[in-house]
Every structure is written in structure tokens, then in C-alpha cells.
Amino acid sequence: MVNRSDIETFWTRGDIHSRIHKAMSEAGLNDRKLEIEDLFPIDQYHARGIAATVDLGKRMPIYENQRIIDIGCGLGGPARYFAKQFRCFITGIDITPSFIEIGNKFNNLTSMSKQVSLQIGNGETLDFEDETFDGGYSQHVTMNIKNRKEFFLEAFRVLKKETFFAFSEHGLGPEGNPIFPLPWADTAEMSFLFSPESTIALLEEVGFHDIQIIETSEKYISGYEKMINTKSKKENPILGIHVIGGATMKQRSRNSMQCIKEKRTLPFEIVCKK
Ligand SMILES: C[S@@+](CC[C@H](N)C(=O)[O-])C[C@H]1O[C@@H](n2cnc3c(N)ncnc32)[C@H](O)[C@@H]1O
């Protein structure tokens, strides 16, 4: 695993608490109750924002009152959306402590604390008993996971039998050799990409079956284009992924778009069964 303080430094990029407080003040969102939708521009920490979360949700068989795990939950935006959408209970874990602190504050502000609970944790060694959850997902996390088999084994272990595991990620494309910095890593030291074929083989080895994969390159290219083509600073919305991702977010996104276009990387979604 990459050093924990390097991960915190990478994901938070300085004083994330102050940046969020300032942006929310300017947007008139501080000191009042919020709807989960108010936070979508900053709490969906991945390319394509809420649109990607909605797409993943359409593929997940989640039912009312189920208990679901979100591995690498970030600020908890996807967990709040799915909890509201499916009327289920979500436990999110993430390795970045500041994200968990802010995410739980967001749960309070949006009155979602009863349905969503976030805690610090590592996806490679989950702190839950075997067969605890009715389903699980992980959105744009696995690119940071070197020990991918251990990560899949842990997801498999904490899921009940006959349940699902879903995830989206940027995999390794046929051309390989990604250009850094990228949204999930400034250098190759934090980036561990696997091809769709080797990902499927690993999932099978761990015991998952009925593996359904869809490639999402075109969606990500147009999502990145939309974000990058915000012409001037004036046109940048107050709230946006840049609040969390910092000053280099645009360049990292531009590199990610180029990587997809040149088939160095290949984004995909997988839903499989235990
Ligand atoms: C691109 S963000 C995605 C956050 C969230 N899933 C979302 O879609 O909004 C990647 C997240 O993975 C988390 N992460 C990276 N390595 C992890 C690990 N080993 N265990 C748990 N979380 C991890 C990071 O802290 C970060 O919050």
C-alpha cells in the first residue's frame, strides 16, 4: 500500500476544510440545512460527477432497507445519493480521514446521518465480519489499489452470498503508458491500472461470477471536454470538482482525457455477483 500520509496529502491538497468552507459560504450554503442535491457539485469526487453515479446506480440491484458498503466513499456524495434513491443504509469507508470528517458533516447537514455512516478504513483490510452486507460498490477507487486481489477478496468476504459487487475505474488501455499527473495520481507510484481482461480474470479467481462489463470511454471523453472547455476563470462555477481537486485538477483531467483518446487508459464499469 502507498504510504497513508502521501494518500491524505494527495487527496486533500492542503487545507481542504477551509477551501470547502469558503466555497460553500460564497455559494450561500453555510449554516443552513441542505438537500443532498445542493452538494452534488462538490461531493461527487470523480470525473462526470453525479452523472457517473446515476449511471452506476442504474446497474446496481439495491432494495429498500438493505445494508450496502461503499469502499473508498470519498466525501460520501454517492452514498447519500444511493441511500436516498434506494431507501437503503450505506456504510462508507475511506482511507483519507479529512474526507470522512467532512462527509459525516455533510450527512448531518443533509439529514442523512441515519442512513449513511462513514468511517476511516482501508479497502485492502476491511473492519467488518464475513457476510455483513447485501451489496457493495467502489467508484473510481481501484486505480490506487496495488494489491487488487486482496481488495477484491475483502469485498467478496464482507458480502453475503448471492449479492452484488459493482465498481467503476480507469483501467489500463491497450497502448498503456499513461501520462501523469492524472486525477488519481501525480506519478506512477500511486497508480495501479489493470486491463479489463486481467480485472475479469482476478474477479473470477476470487470467486465472483456473472461478470458484466461495459466500457465507458466515450462518456468520459465528453465529460472531460465539458469540464475543460469552461473558458475563463469567470465562468468557473463557485462549487465544482476544482474545490476538492485543487489548482491542478484541470491539467490532470486534460491528461486523463488524452490518455483515453490515445487508448493508454480505458474506463469501464463492472457489476458481478458473489
Ligand atoms: C476519486 S476518489 C472517489 C471518491 C468516491 N468514491 C466518489 O466517487 O465520490 C478516490 C477515493 O479513494 C480513496 N482511497 C484510495 N485508496 C484507498 C484504500 N486503500 N482504501 C480506501 N479508500 C481508498 C481516496 O481516499 C479517495 O477518497
pLDDT tens per residue across all 274 residues of the chain: 567 777 888 999 999 999 999 999 999 998 789 999 999 999 999 999 999 999 999 999 999 999 999 999 999 999 999 999 999 999 999 999 999 999 999 999 999 999 999 999 999 999 999 999 999 999 999 999 999 999 999 999 999 999 999 999 999 999 999 999 999 999 999 999 999 999 999 999 999 999 999 999 999 999 999 888 865 455 567 888 889 998 899 999 999 999 999 999 999 999 999 9
Ligand 1 centroid distance, CA of 259 (Å): 21
> CB–CB of 157/111 below 8 Å?
no
Say yes or no: CB of residue 80 within 6 Å of ligand 1: no
Ligand 1 centroid distance, CA of 169 (Å): 11
> CB–CB of 175/263 below 8 Å?
yes
Q: Which atom of ligand 1 is nearest to the CA of 184?
A: 1
Tell me which residue of 176, 140, 146 sits closest to 253, measured CA to CA: 140
How far is it, in rounded angstroms, from Cα 24 to Cα 192?
A: 34
Per CATH, the homologous superfamily of domain 4-172+192-215+268-273 is Vaccinia Virus protein VP39 (3.40.50.150)
Ligand 1 centroid distance, CA of 110 (Å): 21
| Domain ranges for the chain | 4-172+192-215+268-273
